[in-house]
Amino acid sequence: MKSNSCEGPGNTSLLRASVVISSVDSEHAFRPDQIQQQIAIKLRSSALTLLLLFFLVGPFLGQSAINPPAPKSDSLDDSLRHSEGKEIHIFYIHGIGSDGPSDYDSLALRSSICVYLKDCTSPAGTPIGQWDYADQDQFRPDATVPELEYMDEPVWKSADEWRAAAPYAIHFQLARANGQKLYVDELNWWPLTFSLKCRQIIASDAPFVAPSKARIETCSRLEPNLAVPQRFKSYDWITPEDAARMVHLPSRGARANRALKTGLMDWGFSDAVLALGPLRSYVLDGIRQLILKSQADSRAAAVSDPTRQPVDQEFIIVSHSLGSYLIFSALDVNQTTSKTTTIQQSGNTFDHVLERTSMVFFFANQLRLLELASLDGPTDRNFATHLESWGKLRCDYLKSKPGAAQGCQLPRITALNDPSDLLTWTVPNLPGVEVENYTVKNSTRWFWIIENPTKAHNNYARDKRAIKDMLQSHSAAKK
């Protein structure tokens, strides 16, 4: 990520935020017609689920209202207002069910941040630089295509398909009229999942359940990235000819059931299954390479500006859904981690990020569910192990600072959870970290019977209350 030092009276350092987010095509994301189309698609799909869910919630009508959340003692706002000369990087990573290059979650988050700050010079920032692709080791443009198979069929059938599966980062700048610039980085790992989801799940369910026209369109769009040779913004995993045939197939499943099947299971939960299987190592390595690229861009900016003074760095992680599980698995590089050449040459970069990460915000999470697959104690697949490593690195770092006390403030996880979200669980208390589960409401609860399930899971970045909970300091909230 390329950046320039801040100018203007009172600015003594560059406040820099890098947010690692959901897959968002910077060009597509700003097109109103694309955004409205995606919103309309999700709303129509969600509305169809109401009929089914009405039959499921009847026995619970007598339950009492949810207790209000406990106040927070720490927030992103505190770090922004009291940076003490630090560069603040916010890593944001997407979760399950990304809509690929037409997903609008990144735009929603950046817009919400600017609405809260009130002084952004553009409503959601502007893209800077080219897309950064994972391009080392097995992601090199000339690398051998992995020999993974699905029921005796290769997952990627050509060099172009494998190049189209490379994770990538997009960089945005949020310039401010009265404050220091923020830099937003997205880490997009969704390209690795599309070959399997599009060909094996969406295509097979089209004649069996119903054609999901929105997903078929996403899976059949070919768009090379003209600015980055041999890379793609979107790939036609389903050929245009097959897509044209599929969309005209008759629907066979019951309307509400097929909406849940094609949306929640086919497009969403399949990502969680893939993240626990052999594809996991590719996803984690792709994320690691993009983190290293972000760090390299930061160092390059310092070299290109000789007047820029070295500053300390602080990191904040904001993740959605499955991204919570993946980002810590990627950052905790230890003796059990399978190390590629790039990781071996990275030195202590990942420890550097973890020890300087003071806060983490989860927009929904599946930690309790996914940890059911990690019952074998401290391993590279055990999330509690990753959090303990974070807590220890953070504490050792704080105690190493001049004049530091013997004790240290534990790093914080704030989990924002909508109780009506079908795909979130509370985060359990864990050693070495401070955990706060914060209840939010992402959509209207109709007669206390139903809340739109898609909005309940997707609207953390759009819901003003959730953004306020994340950004507003405890002291400001009490005024």
pLDDT digits (tens, 9 = 90+) for 64-119: 333 334 334 456 677 666 666 677 777 889 999 999 988 877 888 889 889 988 99
Mean confidence (pLDDT) of the chain: 79
pLDDT of residue 25: 39
pLDDT of residue 246: 97
Pairing of strands 445-446, 434-439: unpaired
pLDDT of residue 15: 37
- Residue 479: pLDDT band (50, 70, 90) is very low
Q: Is the pLDDT of residue 258 over 70?
A: yes
Q: Looking at per-residue confidence, does 217 or 381 come out higher?
A: 217
How many residues in the chain? 479
Q: Is the pLDDT of residue 132 over 50?
A: yes
pLDDT of residue 424: 94
Encoded amino acid at 437, one letter: N
Beta-carbon contacts of 275 under 8 Å, excluding residues fewer than 6 positions away, are 283, 322, 325, 326, 370
Beta-carbon contacts of 461 under 8 Å, excluding residues fewer than 6 positions away, are 105, 108, 109, 112, 320, 363, 467
What DSSP character marks residue 96?
T
Query: What pTM was estimated for this model as a whole?
Result: 0.81
Residue 345 CA to residue 185 CA, distance in Å, equals: 23
Residue 58 CA to residue 65 CA, distance in Å, equals: 16
Please spell the DSSP secondary structure of 377-420, one letter per residue.
SSSTT-HHHHHHHHHHHHHHHHHHSTT--SS-PPPEEEEEE-TT
pLDDT of residue 351: 92
The mean pLDDT of 246-268, rounded to a whole number, is 91
Structure tokens at 45: 């799909």
Phi, psi of 205 (to 5 degrees): -80, -15
Task: Dump pLDDT digits (tens) for 197-216.
Answer: 999 999 999 999 999 999 99
The mean pLDDT of 434-459, rounded to a whole number, is 87
pLDDT of residue 311: 61
pLDDT of residue 51: 35
- Residue 473: pLDDT band (50, 70, 90) is low
Task: Dump pLDDT digits (tens) for 134-181.
Answer: 999 999 999 999 999 999 999 999 999 999 999 999 888 888 898 777
- Residue 365: pLDDT band (50, 70, 90) is very high
Residue 203 CA to residue 238 CA, distance in Å, equals: 8
pLDDT of residue 55: 34
Highest mean pLDDT among 8-17, 222-231, 341-350: 222-231
Least confident of 2-16, 119-133, 207-221, 229-243: 2-16
Q: Is the pLDDT of residue 457 over 80?
A: yes
Encoded amino acid at 79, one letter: S
Q: Looking at per-residue confidence, does 330 or 80 come out higher?
A: 330
Residue 297 CA to residue 419 CA, distance in Å, equals: 39
Task: Dump pLDDT digits (tens) for 405-415.
Answer: 777 888 989 89
Percentages helix, strand, coil for the chain, rounded to the nearest 5?
45, 15, 45
Is residue 280 classed as helix, strand or coil in its secondary structure? Answer: helix
Beta strand spans in 57-196 (E): 87-93, 126-127, 132-133, 149-150, 153-154, 168-174, 182-188
| Residue (of 241, 247, 261, 462) closest to 363 by Cα position | 462
pLDDT of residue 19: 39
| Residue (of 86, 88, 100) closest to 41 by Cα position | 100
Structure tokens at 391: 């807590």
Structure tokens at 290: 């993009």
Q: Is the pLDDT of residue 8 over 80?
A: no
The mean pLDDT of 48-62, rounded to a whole number, is 35
- Residue 27: pLDDT band (50, 70, 90) is very low
Q: Is the pLDDT of residue 356 over 70?
A: yes
| Residue (of 301, 322, 323) closest to 310 by Cα position | 301
Encoded amino acid at 44, one letter: R
Structure tokens at 59: 């026995």
Residue 289 CA to residue 268 CA, distance in Å, equals: 24
Encoded amino acid at 17, one letter: A
User: Is the separation of the CB atoms in 367 and 419 below 8 Å?
Assistant: no
Q: Is the pLDDT of residue 296 over 80?
A: no
